[in-house]
């Protein structure tokens, strides 16, 4: 009975009664094959192709040789200038390999991969510096190379170094509070990351080893070290959402029983809020809206009053490019109205009393000028025309009206002189006061006599006095 050969490696099975006196040679050759199957080989690569032979196509040809493809662990070496396709032959042999890509870069554009192929079926690419466990299905011209670990199932995996996954990493099952570092998944919670550190329970870093996102130990807080970018709009039913669109910019949406959005400071005090279902912005009492580089402009409510303040060196200015500016009590009573390019009207109890015109002003009702009443005057007296229009002076001694500095051109009024209980007090005038013929003013001398003197300010330093209305009792 003639010898036969195993399909994969061409191990000779001696037929009954064959090779008398020569079986030892055959047996030793078979043992060499088995030794390779249990061993390791470094195989040098060059160029872009290489054939890895597992066995001869015809092991019974009498030229059988030991082949590199008989080794189960193969480390590919050599300097490559391109990816190298390693074809496993023959394409009818089913075999498996532990493959290590330890090639180097012959130029400056690598490193390069080793591509394992057997037929026109699927190939497996082993990246530089990586390892793989693969098997060939030996299906002839259409043979394929399969990743033996493509769907690896492990009860427990412990890795002392880095773990790199080029495809999807699926973690099933929940995590526990005692897990030092765990990844899990449940249908309800989705992806779960659990940690237990002295500073943070979870830390996400970038490739510069800088913290990006942190969950401080034992908290439900999330700390973002850099910029948080969000995309997409929000909806009315969102309980709390941050969104962004190109037209609207940053969007904050909330749905609370009191407020939809509340901004607080680090003392847990509300800075401002948007009451539920409104487009109002609510600032609490004593909170300030502050504007200006030097915080010059303030707008606040102190619990009783609403206050608009300018603390700078400029003016507090209200502008309107419309019909004008109105001051109102509620929405029914006008306090003041300022028409653009028109009158400024002041109201009393919703009734217009004073209005500017193109030629001056119109007063509705009685105009009452301010009056300075001084019950004790003697010696030099200076009238303040800037503060008052009329003056009532009780003379308790002889009086000289000193030249003022506050008179306003066009100002008019009266000066009333009252003799005290003694009477006979005299009046002298400074040079700014002018009388008819320069005769001065002669007052009534009787005790308690009253003289009313009209005046008109013709110019600065020129106050014209009329004749006194004498002897009012």
Name the residue ranges covered by the structural domains of the chain: 4-147, 190-224, 324-363, 371-472
Predicted confidence (pLDDT) per residue in 253-303, tens digit: 988 889 999 999 999 999 999 999 899 999 999 999 999 888 888 889 999
Average pLDDT over residues 192-210: 92
Burial of 117 (0-12, 13-18, 19+ CB in 10 A): buried
In this prediction, residue 456 has a pLDDT band, given cuts at 50, 70 and 90, of: very high
In this prediction, residue 62 has a pLDDT band, given cuts at 50, 70 and 90, of: low
Predicted confidence (pLDDT) per residue in 343-361, tens digit: 999 888 888 888 999 888 8
Residue count (the chain): 473
Q: What is the percent of the chain with per-residue pLDDT over 70, rounded to a whole number?
A: 98
pLDDT the model gives residue 434: 96
In this prediction, residue 29 has a pLDDT band, given cuts at 50, 70 and 90, of: confident
Predicted confidence (pLDDT) per residue in 403-427, tens digit: 999 999 999 999 999 999 999 999 9
Please state, in angstroms and as integers, the Cα–Cα distance from residue 14 to each residue in 3, 32, 65, 93, following that order.
4, 16, 18, 21
Judged against a pLDDT cut of 90, whether residue 165 lies above it is answered with no
Contact 56, 82 (CB under 8 A): no
DSSP letter for 183, please: E
pLDDT the model gives residue 367: 72
- The shares of helix, strand and coil residues in the chain, as percent rounded to the nearest 5, are 5, 40, 50
In this prediction, residue 314 has a pLDDT band, given cuts at 50, 70 and 90, of: confident
Average pLDDT over residues 60-82: 87
Judged against a pLDDT cut of 70, whether residue 473 lies above it is answered with no
DSSP letter for 395, please: E
HSE-CB for 442 with a 13 A CA cutoff: 3
Task: Give the integer Cα–Cα distance in Å for 244 and 424.
Answer: 89
In 3-state terms, what secondary structure has residue 57?
coil
């Amino acid at each position: 009975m003639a010898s036969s050969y195993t399909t994969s490696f061409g191990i000779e099975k001696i037929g009954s009664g064959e090779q008398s006196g020569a079986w030892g040679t055959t047996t030793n050759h078979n043992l060499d094959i088995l030794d390779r199957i249990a061993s390791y080989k470094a195989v040098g690569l060059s160029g872009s192709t290489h054939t890895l032979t597992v066995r001869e196509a015809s092991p019974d040809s009498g030229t059988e040789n030991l082949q590199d493809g008989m080794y189960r662990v193969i480390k590919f070496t050599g300097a490559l200038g391109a990816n190298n396709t390693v074809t496993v032959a023959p394409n009818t042999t089913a075999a498996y390999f532990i493959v290590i890509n330890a090639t180097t870069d012959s130029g400056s554009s690598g490193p390069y991969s080793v591509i394992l192929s057997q037929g026109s079926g699927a190939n497996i690419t082993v990246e530089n510096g990586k390892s793989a466990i693969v098997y060939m299905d030996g299906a002839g011209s259409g043979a394929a190379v399969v990743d033996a670990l493509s769907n690896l199932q492990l009860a427990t995996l412990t890795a002392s170094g880095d773990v790199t996954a080029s495809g999807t990493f699926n973690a099933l099952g929940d995590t526990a509070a005692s897990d030092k570092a765990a990844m899990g998944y449940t249908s309800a919670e989705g992806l779960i990351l659990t940690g237990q550190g002295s500073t943070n329970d979870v830390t996400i870093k970038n490739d510069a080893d800088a913290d990006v996102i942190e969950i401080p130990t034992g908290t439900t807080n999330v700390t973002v070290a850099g910029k948080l970018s969000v995309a997409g709009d929000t909806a009315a039913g969102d309980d709390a959402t941050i969104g962004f669109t190109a037209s609207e910019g940053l969007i904050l949406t909330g749905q609370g029983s009191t407020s939809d959005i509340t901004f607080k400071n680090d003392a847990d005090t509300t800075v401002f809020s948007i009451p539920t279902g409104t487009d109002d912005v609510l600032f609490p009492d004593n909170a300030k809206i502050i504007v200006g580089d030097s915080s010059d402009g303030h707008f606040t409510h102190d619990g009783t009053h609403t206050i608009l303040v300018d603390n700078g060196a400029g003016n507090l200015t209200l502008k309107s490019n419309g019909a004008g500016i109105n001051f109102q009590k509620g929405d029914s009573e006008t306090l003041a109205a300022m028409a653009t390019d028109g009158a400024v009207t002041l109201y009393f109890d919703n009734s217009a009393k004073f209005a500017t015109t193109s030629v001056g002003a119109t007063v509705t009702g009685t105009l009452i000028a301010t009056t300075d009443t001084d019950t004790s005057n003697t010696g030099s007296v200076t009238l303040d025309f800037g503060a008052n229009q009329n003056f009532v002076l009780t003379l308790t001694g002889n009086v000289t009206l000193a030249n003022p500095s506050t008179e306003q051109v066009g100002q008019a009024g009266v000066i009333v002189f009252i003799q005290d209980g003694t009477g006979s007090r005299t009046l002298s005038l400074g040079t700014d006061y002018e009388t008819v013929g320069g005769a001065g003013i002669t007052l009534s001398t009787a005790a308690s006599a009253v003289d009313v003197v009209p005046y008109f300010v013709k110019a600065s330093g020129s106050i014209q006095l009329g004749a006194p209305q004498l002897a009012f009792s």
